[in-house]
Amino acid sequence: MTTAAATAGGRTTKAKPATMAQALGRALRDSMAEDSTVHVLGEDVGTLGGVFRITDGLAKEFGDDRCTDTPLAEAGILGAAVGMAMYGLRPVVEMQFDAFAYPAFEQLMSHVAKMRNRTGGAMPLPITVRVPYGGGIGGVEHHSDSSEAYYMATPGLHVVTPATVEDAYGLLRASIASDDPVVFLEPKRLYWSKADWSPEAPAAVESIGRAVVRRSGRSATLITYGPSLPVCMEAAEAAVAEGWDLEVVDLRSLVPFDDETVAASVRRTGRAVVVHESPGFGGPGGEIAARITERCFHHLEAPVLRVAGFDIPYPPPMLERHHLPGVDRVLDAVARLQWEADS
């Protein structure tokens, strides 16, 4: 999962531990340095550097006009970004928290997602909307939502979410470079996750929309993304003791959805569990399970199972550990994959 060293122009640079937050900040910085049309705007992104410090230093390096503290109004921020993109800029909007992005929904649904389509391709909007999402950081009410189902149900948007430090950089660079609007979901409980990663030679992701197999296995496939990837990796290691060799697929983007990688894995293993924090009912897992069934029915040894957040409003932080899918729940699901059929 991590690269100990990366090669840049034939020269080997030492990789040092870096956090996902640092990689995201570096991606913003490099995008702004390379392309003068990239503008960052949002609440507290300037002087403060964002409440998660992702934009730290950008206003100082590029000036207030390139990294702008806006009035506190999410629809206004995204609406203004639409106008800026109409004029040829490439805005990167920061929504402070998942649940604070809801006031911007009308702009996102009615304009950002549709502008390319409703102008017959004449006016695409290259806007990246960064949204810190998910729980697990002890946030009080309205700070821990998993809102990906809303976004992925909206044609015209790309929905991208990194789970590793390297992907945080590569996927954000690719999202900003995309001529389509991207909702870039940042798993906030992984902001401080670390990996050996070389900012001098960061591997760029060439295009968004490809899943990756994080762990190869033969028994069953865990399909996941963002904050639940570490949970699945841990579960896969724990499963070895039970005699299961689990494959783990990191989707990296929910839209476009990589049917090919997912179906290929499930055809190999014959069993699948989808894992995410978002509530299960109407959540991404239902769509993914349906897609697997449509493509892999004759390879399946068991129904596709989902391990998801409960269908409840996000709980108070002192109770969130009961809500979030953890290693045990993933292993319980794996145990329910009708292994008796094999014996």
Return residues touching another protein (CB under 8 A). Answer: 39, 65, 70-71, 73, 75-76, 78-89, 91, 103, 106-107, 110-111, 114-124, 155-156, 158, 178-180, 209, 255-257, 259-260
Which tokens hold the place of 110?
């009615």
Helix (H, G, I), strand (E, B) or coil at 16: strand
CB-nearer residue toward another protein: 50 or 126 = 126
Q: Which residue in the list 143, 158, 276, 323 is annotated as catalytic?
A: 143
Rank residues 171 and 190 by Cβ distance to another protein and give the closer one: 171
209 or 317: CB nearest another protein: 209
Min dist. Cβ of residue 155 to another protein (A)? 6
Contact 324, 145 (CB under 8 A): no
Are the C-beta atoms of residues 325 and 275 closer than 8 Å to each other?
yes
The dihedral built from the CA positions of residue 124, 176, 51 and 157, taken in this order, carries a sign that is positive
Residue closer to another protein, measured from CB, 65 or 340: 65
Whichever of 113 and 172 has its CB closer to another protein, that residue is 113
In angstroms, what is the minimal distance from the CB of 294 to another protein? 11
How far apart, in whole angstroms, are the C-alpha atoms of residue 157 and residue 254? 10
DSSP for 60-118, written as a single string: HHH-TTTEEEPPS-HHHHHHHHHHHHHTT-EEEEE-SSGGGGGGGHHIIIIIITTHHHH
Nearest approach in angstroms of CB 23 to another protein is 25
The least distance separating another protein from the CB of residue 299, rounded to whole angstroms, comes to 19
**Among this protein's residues, is 143 annotated catalytic?**
yes
Q: How far is the CB of 59 from another protein (least distance, A)?
A: 14
Nearest-Å Rg of the Cα atoms of the chain is: 20
Burial 57-77 (b: 16+ CB within 10 A, else e): ebbeebeeebbbbbeeebeeb
Q: State the DSSP string of 104-134.
A: GHHIIIIIITTHHHHTTTSS----EEEEEE-
Please identify every residue annotated as catalytic.
143
